[in-house]
Amino acid sequence: MNKKKEYHILSLSGGKDSTALAFFMRENMPEIFEKLELVFCDTEHEIPETYEYLNKIELFLNKPITRLKPKRSFEDILATTNFLPSHKHRWCTGLLKNNSLNNYVKMLRFMHNYTIIKLYLGIRNDEIFRISAAGQNPYLIEIFPFVENNIYKNDVENILKNAGIGISDYYKWRKRSGCYFCFYQSCMDWLRLYENHPDLYKRAMEYEYNDCKEIKSGRMGFNMDYSLRDMIKPENIKIIKENYQKSQENKHNKNLSTTLFNSF
């Protein structure tokens, strides 16, 4: 009888959860960890701290990370489509990330005859709602060890702390991994990018103005409120920072009221 050939992949994002999953599997699923391949889908536009953190993960786990690159670069796609990725036209994730993984999995199946490929994902037990959004790949069986083992946000932080690796340096100024020009960023995130990596901010600005003809005809760029060129004008920086401060105060007051309400 033909024995089914299994392969195991963990998809790293450079964020806390997927990194913690790698360490969790090393401790709790050693037989799988031994044959597990760590994979990172590189858009080629990640923030530098992510690339540094990936190197650190390799060292701490003593395991290489396979870095998958997109078939067509961001610049190449932009030159053809002429519009930037946005909330309405999120072409980036599919073309720069998901396709790389799909092609890699197809290669594993057809070139190396793996019949079962398991993909381990770092979705936590407190975000089960994300599971339905996963599960899009017909070539993969997705596994959620954190859900199966009741792992929550605090547990993830403890796993990283106990492993000695801690979290990526980008958490000092940004909440998520991903492209430095991600359109999901708030204005404040953009300003932090400008403060921490002015060169990358400038490159994003160039994509808006030099590489995208639509912008020249007045269309919005990465951000819904400001063009990147306008965003860093002193008067706009002032408005963005004041609005951010106000939103933080509101959040703080709301949390305080909830705590007081719950204490009665």
In whole angstroms, how close is the CB of 158 to ligand SF4 at the nearest point? 27
Compose the 93-122 pattern: x for residues touching ligand SF4 by CB under 6 A, - for all others. x--xx-------------------------
Tell me the C-alpha to C-alpha distance, in Å, between residue 38 and each of 54, 64, 104: 10, 7, 12
**What tokens were used for 180?**
């430095």
By CB under 6 A, name the one of 117, 182, 187, 191 that touches ligand SF4.
Answer: 182
Q: Using an 8 Å Cβ cutoff, are 170 and 163 in contact?
A: no
By CB under 6 A, name the one of 15, 122, 178, 221 that touches ligand SF4.
Answer: 178
Asked if 140 interacts with ligand SF4 (CB under 6 A), we say no
Asked if 184 interacts with ligand SF4 (CB under 6 A), we say yes
Nearer to ligand SF4, 123 or 182 (CB): 182
From 7-15, 149-157, 159-167, 175-183, give the range in contact with ligand SF4 by CB under 6 A.
175-183
In whole angstroms, how close is the CB of 75 to ligand SF4 at the nearest point? 14
By CB under 6 A, name the one of 10, 123, 143, 179 that touches ligand SF4.
Answer: 179
Asked if 143 interacts with ligand SF4 (CB under 6 A), we say no
Asked if 14 interacts with ligand SF4 (CB under 6 A), we say no
From 54-62, 76-84, 92-100, 229-237, give the range in contact with ligand SF4 by CB under 6 A.
92-100
By CB under 6 A, name the one of 85, 122, 145, 221 that touches ligand SF4.
Answer: 85
